[in-house]
Each structure stands twice: as C-alpha cells, then as structure tokens.
Structure 1
Amino acid sequence: MEYSFRQAQSEDIPQIWEILERAIQRRKEEGSNQWQDGYPNVSVIRTDIEKGHGYVLTDGGIIAGYCAILINDEPAYANLQGQWLTAGDFVVYHRVALAEEYLGKGLAQKMLLYIEDFARQHNIYSVKADTNFDNGGMLNIFKKLGYAYCGEVFFRGAPRKAFEKVIAH
C-alpha cells in the first residue's frame, strides 16, 4: 500500500470526524474514560485544521488516520510531574486515531514516524506525547518506538502518562 501524510483540509472533516467517533466508541467499549467527556469533537478538529495543525494519513483518496501536530504548544507540559529528557523546542501530537478498517496494520507507528520526519523538517529533535493510563495500544507503540516515560501531566483534571523521544538529526 502507498500511504501519504499531508496537512488536513476542511473538506476532510467529515471523514476525520467519522474516524474519531469510532475511536471514541472503541475507547468506551474498552472501558476507558479517555475521550468520554465530549472531547475531541468536530469544533476541535475544525480548529486544528484552521490553525494548520491537523494532519491525515491517506491511502489514495481515503483517510486512514488523523492526528494534530503542534510545535512548543502544550501548556500542560510545563507542569509535568516528573522530568522531560530535554528542555528545548519540541513537537507534540494529539488526537491520534485510525479508521476501523486500518487497525492492526502498523499504521499508528507509521504515522508517528511521519511526525518524527515533520519534527526533523523543522529542525526539532524532541517529540512529546501523552496518553491515558489504560490506553494499552498507544503505550505499546511508545515502547516499540523508543519513547521514554517522563511522568504525569493533567488534562481536564485527569492524569495522563507523558512520554518523550529524542530523535536523531
């Protein structure tokens, strides 16, 4: 399969939202409280795209996955209960989700590798992310890709595990 990674456009919103709705439902079925409080929602996605932060992994004309990528823009990370590996510029990503039919094919890892490429293109060599304590899929991917556990951050009153990966130049 030939995948590509590009900035999301406003016309992608219906496909992106469908992917996120299913991901929200899957988290609920897994017994997680992650994404069960009305976040993320369509207006969050719209804002991601308007600000140029939304990215999609595509398989031809089909959107296989979505994430938001930001540079030095996660206020909660300043209050980490723990220790980051680096103190300089960083890329952070949120709202990683794959379409149902693309699950189990290693595409979340592929998307995170595209995010590392994005960081390098911006001369940034730190990638930071966080996830729920019970999100086994993401925790496993962080481990596989060499992320270091750095501590806890808090979003909307709930603790999350925070990770960082220092990438090669």
Structure 2
Amino acid sequence: MNVLIRSAQYIDIQYLEVIASETVKVMKEEGNDQWNDQYPLAEDFQRDVQNESIFVYILDGEVAGSITIDQQFSNAYSKFDWHQPVEQAMIFHRLVVNPTIRKKGIASKLITFAESYAIENGMTSMKVDTYSLNRKAQELFTKHHYTFVGERTFPERKNPFYFYEKPLNP
C-alpha cells in the first residue's frame, strides 16, 4: 500500500468533486445536512488549491481524501472564549474521505498531518467546527482530544454548529 499526503493540484479537483458528491449522499442517509449540492463546490477546492491550503491523501496512486488547513476563520470564531488565541491557531475544514474506503484511518491521518503542519508553521493550537448533526465528525474530534468550546446557530440553519480546539505541543 503506497500512501502519500501532498499539496493538492488543480488536476485533483475532479476527484475531490466526486468524493464530495458521494459524501453528501452518505451524509443525507445519516440524517446530516451539513454538506449539500451547494457546498462544497469545485470553486471551494479551486480556491484552496490557489491558496496552497489543501492537501490530498493519495492511496495507491489515487486521491482518497483531502483536508484544507489555513487561518481563514469565519466571524463566528470571534464569539468564543478560546483557551488558545485565534492569532496563533490554524483551522482545518472540508475534511473528506472517499466513502468507499472509510474506516481505514485516513481522516485521522489527515488530522494528524494538519496538526503537524500547524506546528511547523509556529501555531499553538488547532480549531475546527462541525454541524451538530454531524456526529461522526464530533466523535472523530473527541478521539483526537479536541475540546468542545461552544456552539452557535446561524439564521440559514435550524441546528447549531459546534466549535472545538486543541492545544498543540511541538
């Protein structure tokens, strides 16, 4: 089994679109509407590639998943009393793994990669949010020792989003 995590390239977007589309189907089956046919789109992945903030997990030569790591915090992040300052943190988002090969630890490896990347860039913590209906993401974050910080409801959503953070030790 040949594994590699590398910066995403524009050619990877076509694969990420398919993986995201299949993930939306699985989310719907699980009663989770965090993602839909309006998000994430190719434009989101293109922007991430342009910003050099998206990394892909390559398994046996094929894109198996991705994670975006940056400091593009929404205004919602300013509403919490974080234990670690936002200025010294990175966030990961659009964590996605091909649904046909889930349960192989790929999401965990991408999160571990994100944490190492943040440390290499001088950050002291990692932050993330997820929709309250996305129980699998919540379990994954807890497994990786992320602490629940708070929740926030947005006008366009019925249910709140949950916010998490984790201090990083170099």
- Identify whether the pair has TM-score above 0.5, normalized to the shorter chain: yes
Paired with 1:43 and 1:130, the residues of 2 have a C-alpha distance of 21
CA contact (8 A) 1:91 1:119 kept: yes
Match of 1:104 in 2: 103
The 1:138/1:52 distance shift into structure 2, 3 A limit, reads same
Amino-acid identity (%): 27
Superposed structure 1 runs of 4+ greater than 6 Å apart: none
CA contact (8 A) 2:10 2:46 kept: yes
Secondary structure of 1:149's counterpart equals strand
How far residue 50 of structure 1 moved from its aligned partner, in angstroms, is: 1.2
* RMSD (CA atoms): 1.7
CA contact (8 A) 1:13 1:46 kept: yes
Paired with 2:100 and 2:31, the residues of 1 have a C-alpha distance of 21
Provide the TM-score with structure 2 as the length reference: 0.90
Q: How does 1:63-142 map to 2 (within 5 A)?
A: 63-71=63-71, 73-80=72-79, 82-87=80-85, 88-142=87-141
Paired with 1:97 and 1:78, the residues of 2 have a C-alpha distance of 22
Paired with 1:113 and 1:156, the residues of 2 have a C-alpha distance of 33
CA contact (8 A) 1:66 1:98 kept: yes
1:89-129 superposed Cα distances (whole Å, 9 cap, x missing partner): 11101111101232011211111000011011101120000
Which amino acid in the other structure matches residue 85 of structure 1?
A: H
Paired with 2:16 and 2:154, the residues of 1 have a C-alpha distance of 23
Paired with 1:20 and 1:78, the residues of 2 have a C-alpha distance of 25
How far residue 79 of structure 1 moved from its aligned partner, in angstroms, is: 3.3
Provide the TM-score with structure 1 as the length reference: 0.91
| Bigger mean CA offset, 36-45 vs 144-153 | 36-45
How far residue 22 of structure 1 moved from its aligned partner, in angstroms, is: 0.7
Paired with 1:36 and 1:154, the residues of 2 have a C-alpha distance of 18
Paired with 1:18 and 1:70, the residues of 2 have a C-alpha distance of 23
Match of 1:167 in 2: 168
CA contact (8 A) 1:79 1:153 kept: no
Q: How many residues align?
A: 167
1:3-45 superposed Cα distances (whole Å, 9 cap, x missing partner): 2211100011111111111111111111122112611111111
Paired with 2:93 and 2:106, the residues of 1 have a C-alpha distance of 16
5+ long unaligned stretches in structure 2: none
